[in-house]
């Protein structure tokens, strides 16, 4: 059974392992640790027993917008609803903290991630050029946390 809970410092080794397996340019361990202190109750892990199989980091900006800093699920556990559980839980916590919408950046070439976010109600708003470095652009995707749009 998968549970979603707050991340702790003891979880960082497994979180960093997932980070390095998931991204070409992973966040350094030190930054993942720093977010543990910055992302007050918005740094979550998905656990199966004692094994961490996914994580999500969010922050509230300006008191009204939730920013998803990072989300990743261990490759062997992808496409099993774990990312959706993490996303749903952080969106609820964003709302409890006064956020009106959630947003994130995603590499414009990462089609599986873009599809995942769209399936979870995120809309592409614009391109942020060179976000991941020269010539590496991101889509900014946004989800209104209070209104559902019909297809």
Cα–Cα dist 58/136, whole Å: 22
pLDDT of residue 149: 58
How many CA atoms does the CB half-sphere of 6 hold within 13 Å?
10
- Can you count the helices (H) and strands (E) in the chain? 4, 7
For 39-58, write each residue's pLDDT tens digit.
989 999 999 999 999 999 99
Q: Which CATH superfamily is domain 2-144 in?
A: Gcn5-related N-acetyltransferase (GNAT) (3.40.630.30)
pLDDT of residue 100: 95
pLDDT of residue 146: 87
Cα–Cα dist 1/123, whole Å: 31
Q: What is the DSSP letter of 49?
A: T
Residues of the chain with pLDDT under 50: none
Element housing 91 (H / E): helix 82-96
């Amino acid at each position: 059974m998968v549970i979603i809970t707050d991340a702790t410092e003891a979880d960082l080794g497994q979180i960093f392992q997932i980070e390095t397996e998931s991204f070409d340019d992973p966040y350094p361990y030190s930054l993942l640790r720093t977010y543990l202190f910055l992302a007050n109750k918005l740094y979550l892990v998905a656990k199966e027993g004692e094994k961490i199989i996914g994580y999500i980091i969010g922050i509230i900006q300006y008191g009204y917008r939730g920013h998803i800093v990072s989300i990743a699920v261990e490759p062997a556990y992808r496409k099993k609803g774990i990312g959706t559980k993490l996303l749903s839980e952080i969106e609820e916590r964003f709302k409890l903290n006064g956020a009106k919408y959630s947003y994130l950046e995603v590499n414009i070439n990462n089609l599986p991630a873009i599809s995942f976010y769209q399936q979870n109600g995120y809309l592409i708003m614009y391109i942020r050029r060179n976000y991941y470095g020269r010539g590496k652009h991101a889509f900014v995707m946004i989800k209104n946390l209070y209104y559902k749009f019909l297809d």
